[in-house]
Each structure stands twice: as structure tokens, then as C-alpha cells.
Structure 1
Amino acid sequence: MRLLEADLRTERQPRADLDTEHAWRAFIRFGRRRFDTPNTPDADGLLFQYGTYSFGGPTTFTVELTRQFEVVDRDGDHDHYVQISCELNYGLPPALQALGSYSSWFFHDSGADLDHWAGEVSSRAAWATISGYKPVGVRVFEEPV
């Protein structure tokens, strides 16, 4: 989590002033770092998702940037995942709610190209709509799943 927070600070924006573009650039920098993970295709993944959700609080349009790591037990068998997320909340602008929901995964050891995936995500028509709004809240957190 500290590495993602450091990448967010690299954008030279106080967290309260982060916008979608700054958060995305920081997340991709964080995503380029490789870690010692199990040798499975889904051991190190990045998730971009958006939609209107109520995660234990008021309903809001949310963009979530998540990195997921697989954790294995002593025998090398799957135990659980750890997710490190940057959650951008935008309130409930009708234009954002109209986007519906979307999610896209990238996995490092699947043969896919990170730059290609990042380009596909940021070239979606919804990206321009989302980028036109400033988040009203930003939260960085880590959780086991």
C-alpha cells in the first residue's frame, strides 16, 4: 500500500486534489513494479472498474483501481488474495451514472502487454466522461479477499 501511496504523491497533488488522470498514471506506475509472486497466470493482476455502488456507505459513482496479489501457503497452494486499491468517488452525477458499470483485468504473467491494456482502458469513450469530473473523495486501502 505504501508504494501505491508513494506513486500517488509523485503526481504532486494532495490526495484531496487528485483527479482521474493523476490517479491512473500513478496506478500504472505502481502496476509496472514487479514483485515476487507465485508462478501462476493470475498471481499479479490489475483491475480497472467503475460503476454506481454503495460499499457500506452512501451510493456513489466509483472508479476503483486495484492491484491483486495471490498469497500461497507453505505447500504452494492458493491461500487468499491481497488487494491494494485506490478508490475514487464522484458523487452521483447523472452523466456518470448513465455509464453503467465496467471492469477490465490485466495479469502480468498471462502474456498480455500492460501498455496495450492501459491504452485500451483510457481510450474508452467513458474515460472522457469520467475525466470531466473531479472525485469528491479518494481512499487508498489494502484488504485480504
Structure 2
Amino acid sequence: MLILATRDVLVSMLADAGVNPDAMTSADVRTTVEVFRCFAGLPVDGVAPPEEDGDGVLAQFGTYDFRGRSEFSTDLTRQFVEAGDEDAPMWQLSCTLYWPAGAETESLAFGHLWSFGKTLDEFFAKAGALPGWAWALDCLEGPQDLVITLAEL
């Protein structure tokens, strides 16, 4: 798979798992993480290896107003650095879930974790234990939005 195809592949995998970005349920959060875990193990052509920090996953969470209103978000991002010289392009494929912000989510603060130096199993176990991700995985309220983006940095 090429970097430019990664978004379509992830969207297709989520659809195959029954995740509808326009009607997210609380159960879809766990399914989204499981699908992303499978997606993170797929090879991508032309990417530097993980030991060179060329292919890694970032889990993050927090309350932000990036979209013009205060929202709590959890995010899984797969970062790709094209193989080649030091100035090789970097890409990020982000899968972000949004909930309305509130006192409970504000108390979670924010945090992040990179997969570099960890197996995917270790990473996803630790990511799921981050306060914001633990809340999202146990939340009875489905996210209001799921946004998947691929961007060159």
C-alpha cells in the first residue's frame, strides 16, 4: 500500500467493521481502536522503518478548540516518513473522535504516547490505559464525530 492510499484503506477497514462515522456509538470507539491496531500492522511502501522512526503511532487526548468550539478528543495517528534523505516528507494519518467538552473530560487534562521502541501490542495496551483513552473506551455516550485525515507535514 502507498502512503496516499492509507486513508482509503483505513476508511474501508472501518466500514467493513460496521463503523459509520455519521452515527457513532459507544461500542464503535473500541471497534475503531481494534481496526486501527490492525491497520497499524499493515506495511506501507516507501516508508523508513520503525527503528528509524519512519513508521509509528501516536495516541493522544485532550480538550481543545481546534474546530471553533471546546471539544474533548481522542486521536490515533499513524506517522510515515518517506525513506530517503533527511529532508524526506512526513505524513500523518489521523483518526480523531470528538465529544462535547464537560467537567468530566476537562478533569482528564491531556496526554500522548508514541509507539516508538514498543511493540504494537505494548503500545495499544499502554495507550488504552491513558486517562483520556480509558474514559473514551468506557464512555456510554458515543462520540459526536469521527474525522479521518491524511496530511503531509
TM range (shorter): 0.7 to 0.9
Match for residue 48 of structure 2?
38
The 5 Å alignment of 1:4-83 reads 4-15=10-21, 16-18=23-25, 19-36=28-45, 37-39=47-49, 41-72=52-83, 76-83=85-92
Deviations 1:84-115 (A, max 9, x none): 111100011321121000100113xx4x2110
Match for residue 90 of structure 1?
99
Match for residue 136 of structure 1?
144
TM-score (structure 1 length as normaliser) = 0.85
Mapped to 2, the partners of 1:106 and 1:77 lie a distance apart of: 21
Q: 1:57 to 1:126 in 2, by over 3 A?
A: closer
Mapped to 2, the partners of 1:41 and 1:32 lie a distance apart of: 16
Match for residue 120 of structure 2?
114
Aligned Cα root-mean-square deviation (Å): 1.9
1:103 to 99, 112, 120: 112
Bigger proportion of residues as strand? 1
Mapped to 2, the partners of 1:127 and 1:144 lie a distance apart of: 26
Mapped to 1, the partners of 2:19 and 2:132 lie a distance apart of: 24
The total of aligned residue pairs comes to: 140
Task: After TM superposition, give the deviation of residue 120 of structure 1 in Å.
Answer: 1.6
Structure 1: gaps (5+ residues): none
Mapped to 1, the partners of 2:127 and 2:96 lie a distance apart of: 16
TM-score (structure 2 length as normaliser) = 0.81
CA contact (8 A) 2:77 2:92 kept: yes
3-state SS of the aligned residue for 1:79? coil
